[in-house]
Every structure is written in C-alpha cells, then in structure tokens.
Amino acid sequence: MDIDVLKGIGAKKKDQLARLNIYSVADLYNYYPKSYEDRSKLTRLGEGKDNKKHFFIWTIRSKLYTKNLRKMTVSYLYASEEGSNERIRLVWLYDRYTPMKLKIGKTYKFFTKIKEYRGEIEAINPEFSEMDEDQIGSIVSIYRLTSGLSNKQVHTFINEALEYFDSKEDFVTKEIVQKFELCSRLTNLEEVHNPTSISNLTKAKSNIKVLDLCKDLVFLDQIKKKTKHPHKLNLSYHLKEILGELDFDLTKSQLRSLKEILRDCVAPYSANRLLIGDVGSGKTIVALIVMIIFAMNTYQAAMMVPTEVLAIQHYEKNLELFNKFGVKVALLTGSTKDKDNLKEDLAEGKIDILIGTHAIIQEDVSFKNLKFVVNDEQHRFGVSQRQMLALKGEDVNYLTMTATPIPRTLYLKISNILDMSVIDEVPKGRKPIETKLVGTGSQDILFDFIEENIKNKRQVYVVTNNIDSDDKNSLINLYKLYKKAFKAFRVGILHGKLKSSEKDQVLKNFAMGKFDILVATTVIEVGIDVANANIMVIYNPNNFGLSTLHQLRGRVGRGNYKSYCFLVNEKDRPDGKLKVLEENTDGFEISKKDFEMRGGGKILSLLQHGKNLSDIEYLNMDQAEIDKSFEIFSYLRENDYKDCDLSFIKEFFKEDKRIILN
C-alpha cells in the first residue's frame, strides 16, 4: 500500500520519506527506531540539577519577553512548579516563535536540563508538549531523519501506518506464537514504536528478531527446494598437482572452502554456494582454481565483477596461472575491442574461461557449455543480474562471494540450510596494515611520509565523504590541496558523478601507475586491487561507518609492502569507532562493534528481490535468540509447515522464477 493513503503525506513528504527508503505503508511501520530516550520519570526541581535532561511539569506564569542583542535574539518567560516557591526562567536563543505557543496560566510537560544562574533556575531551549501528548512523559522512539522531517512527524506517520498493518506479515499461526511464548508481529511493532516499559521493549525487539530470522530460514529452505536442479557432471582432477603450480600455499580455510565447492559441483544437484571471507582473505583465488578445473574438463566458466578495472586485474594478474594449465581465457568489458570475434569464439567453445563486467550478461553473449559461474562482490549486483548470468547455461553451478561477516555461531547453524563456505584466515605473508589517527595539526608530517613513499615508487589513496561542499575536507578542496602540496607528482580524482567509462579509465590509470595519488570518494571501497598502493588516507573518518572504514583500509596491504591507513581527524587521540579500527583488524569484530555503535536500523530484513545477506543484521542476536529461531523453524519443517503461511514465497516466485539464493 502506497504511503500517500496516510494523512499529511503529500508529494513533498513522500519524496522526503523516499530518502529514508520508505515507499510503502509497510516500509513505515517496519522502520525501526535507531535509539530510545526514557522520558517517563517525572522529576522535581530539587532532583534535576545534575546537567541531564529530565521530565518536568510546569505552569506558565508570565508573558513572553524578547531582547534583540547584536548577534542573537533572546526570548524568555517564567514558569513555576506546583508545590515549589522557586521561579523558573525559560530561555530560547535564536528562536522567538517557539515560545509563542505557551499560554499564561496553562500547564505543560517539559523535557530539559536545568541549572542555577544568577540566583534563578534556568532552562535553555526546553522541549515542551501539551499534557495529553506522549512525546514527553514516556519512552520516546528516536528515528534516523532527513532534511524536512522531524522525529515527531515520522512517529505520527508510523502510528497511522500501524492501523493498516498487513496480517500476512504474521507468517505463523497464533498457536505457534503462543506455543513458543511470543507475541504477534503487530503487538511487537506497537511496543517497538511506542514502548510501555524498558522490559516490554526488550522483549518485543527480541521477538521480532527471533521471528524474522525464523522467516528467513523458512524462506531459504523453501527456495532451496524449488531451485534444486538435478545434473550429471564429471570432474577429473588431481588437486595436489594443481595446487603445486601456485607460488604460495592456500590457508586451511581456503583449502576447506575449495573442497566444499568442488564437492557441491559433483553432487546430484547443481551447486549454489556462498563464499564468505573478510577483505583480503583470498576468496578470488579459490574461485579461479575451481574455474580452471572446470576448463580442464571441457566445461566453460565465467566470473562477473563490478568494475572494468577489477576485471582487467583478475585477468592480467592470473594469466600466467591460466597458461600453466593450457586453458583459454578471455576478458569482456564495455571497452573490449573486437567483441564480435570474442563472442563468436565463446559460442563455439573456443574460450574456456570468461572474466568480465555486466557486459557478459548482455543478450548477444552466449556460451557453448557453461557450467560454473562466479559472482564477485555480490552485493553490487541485483538478483535479476545474478540470475541472467546463471541462465547463460543449463544446470549451472553458482558461486557468489561476499565480505559480509556472519557470526560463527549463526554460520554453523544456518549452513545446514544454505550452502556456505567461510574463509576466516588471512593468507600467509600478508602484512598487517598499521592504522594511525592523525590530528589536522600534524598534516605536514603526514605529507612528508607520503612523499617518501611515493619516491619509493608506492601509490596513495586519499578518501573523503563528500564532493563539493563547503567542508575544507571535501573532494574538490582535497584535490586542490594535494595538487599544490605534491606538485612534482601525479594526482588523480575519482567520484560517483563521473560517467562509468570515466570512472573505469581513472581506476585503470591508477592501477597502471599513471597516478601517484588518487583522491576519491568511497567509489573505491570495492572493485580495485592495486598491489603497489600502500597508503590509505581517510578524511572525516567519523562520517563513515566502521565497516566502510574497514573496507577502505582493505584497499591497501595487497602487495609485499608495509601498508598504512591514516585517519585524519580534528582530534589527535582516538575515541569511539576510530579507536576500534585502530585496535582491530578482524572484519567480524569490526562489524559487530559497528552495529553496537550505530544502533538498530532494521533488525532483520527478509531475503527478497534485490536483497541479500549483506542486508541482514544478524550481528546483534544473542545465542538464546538464534537457538529459539532455529527451534521454531525445526518445528515448522518437521510438521510440513502446516502452521505456516507460505504465501510470501508464492508472491516472491511471481516475480522471480529461478532464484540464486545468495
């Protein structure tokens, strides 16, 4: 149901809500608060002088006074508290309109700090409400907002949306809810948005997590049944001899994952496996070895990656390895020359392995005997794109790769439903990246260090979060700064407003060593692997999530050189998330801390069209909640889902007839 059925939502509000990814009534009531503020305890004047905000009830006793000072407007009036002789001075700075709503003799709720000033109790810019409103005097939900939307507006819209709750979201019967001592989804949502107590809120949030994970498990189980494709595939190979051709040893988890993928591929049903590994853990080489084995057995294999530069790097970096096994490899991107001959060779089976971008899923690209496909950086592609690649052959074995970490406790359980492999080690010889916080006052020292590295033929990334704002650390301003500071060197610039072809060209130039420094936004977060780059400088680091900072840091440390990540900050001492990044290199630990610091967002998200594992926040579930989800799921499955409404599966298949699970 579209959100414009709700009161107060016209075209303007609709656009504002769209910026929060809210398009429907269901999106609204499933838009979870990011945090809560307990405003429920009524406080007396004598108890509230601790520099914290408290809930008070005061009566207005004077008219409004306004002073126009040289640099600001000060508005104030006086109030009193029942049973107290003290006078309270309520002051608004830079705001003459808000206090005009207060009427002499009327009583209001206030939420504010108070302090003593010149013998009077004073409250600066207090928040207030009518006595019958619940924004003060209760536990208040705090939402992520965007320009033009207030917390009160979002909360009002959500409460109205709850009146249109779709009962289909309760995918299990009331009997199941009661059997496992839970509550209905609507009851849980009402508590999450309008908490009655901290204990009830905690229970409701837990119920939602348990039922949402259970729903995802049912989804995975049902989809897997519907997408099983019987096939006969013979793979003949001597793994020890193949691995002997590498100039390094695989880690134990790389070898385990490789064997799991190969075992899947010769099973009675075609493989559909997810390979999870932290940034730089060596997922790609595992996939390439499988592709080589398929090619050696006269089958074709293909790998789709998100950027042209990454496709080129995978192709060129591993060409020598492919040649050792006598397999014919080709590269297909938007700028590939002589595409017609390449496509002809591919259709005739003269090409064994194809590495490319979205170009490989175009209609005129066909294979003779495609049996294995790899989707690298899977969150950059939609479900439909991933399907298009798999449908280039019959009964294709599918591998997707992601750096999204999953807690081991959940992985061990969910792997019984979804075929997953995890690489949880860093390749031998990989040097840890040294992460340091740099105060803005120490930038000259940083520049000297960068210059020394460039003179040693190394390259540097400089990343910021915005393009052309007034911020001194915007992309444009940093580009000017680095051009001026490093006149003797080559500085490039990269951002999302460039055309795809322009972005690929800049990345290609950097990979080829034509730039010494690349000033960029987060478009370099994935899709580039330059072994020669050993310094990552990140400006405004507090404006990035921890996981993004970790991904950005992972762009360096890919060669044999000591690598560094510098976080340029106003303060020169780490606190909060920057301290976490400085002290941790493990992707899962960082993701977990990131979740704790950012707060909720959507607790879980159904695996649906365009969604994937990277959208699901399993990281905040404790073991008891995970166990309960699996307990309910096991009961439903054992009873052939008779207590479960599977209509959401049918709705899904109206749009997607053949789904790639991962």
**Confidence band (pLDDT; 50, 70, 90) for 654?**
low
**Per-residue CA distances from 599 to 95, 301, 320, 595, 607 (Å):** 31, 42, 47, 6, 21
Q: Is the pLDDT of residue 612 over 70?
A: no
- Write the pLDDT tens digit of every residue in 198-207: 999 989 988 9
CB contact set of 641 (below 8 Å; sequence gap of 6+): 218
Q: Dihedral angle at the C-alpha atoms of 522, 528, 532, 534, nearest 10 degrees?
A: 30
Q: Which residues is 397 bridged to in the sheet?
A: 372
CA distance 319 to 315: 6
Among 511, 466, 174, 111, CA closest to 309: 511
Residue 630: count other Cβ atoms within 10 Å of its Cβ: 19
Q: Is the pLDDT of residue 405 over 70?
A: no
Mean pLDDT, the chain, integer:
85
pLDDT of residue 126: 96
Pick 300 or 305 by higher pLDDT. 300
Q: Is the pLDDT of residue 609 over 50?
A: no
pLDDT of residue 605: 33
pLDDT of residue 662: 43
The residue with tokens 């033009």 is 148
Average pLDDT over residues 150-174: 92
Q: Which two tokens stand for residue 121?
A: 């109790």
Amino acid at 228: K
| % of the chain residues with pLDDT over 70 | 88
Amino acid at 606: L
Pick 638 or 499 by higher pLDDT. 638
Q: Which residues is 206 bridged to in the sheet?
A: none
Q: Is the pLDDT of residue 373 over 60?
A: yes
Among 262, 529, 281, CA closest to 401: 281
Phi, psi of 483 (to 5 degrees): -60, -40
Sign of CA dihedral 624, 35, 547, 380: positive
Average pLDDT over residues 351-359: 93
| % of the chain residues with pLDDT over 90 | 48
Q: Is the pLDDT of residue 412 over 70?
A: no
Burial of 235 (0-12, 13-18, 19+ CB in 10 A): middle
CA distance 609 to 423: 27
Amino acid at 651: E
**Confidence band (pLDDT; 50, 70, 90) for 307?**
confident
Least confidently predicted of 51-65, 173-187, 546-560: 546-560
CB 368 within 8 A of CB 345: no
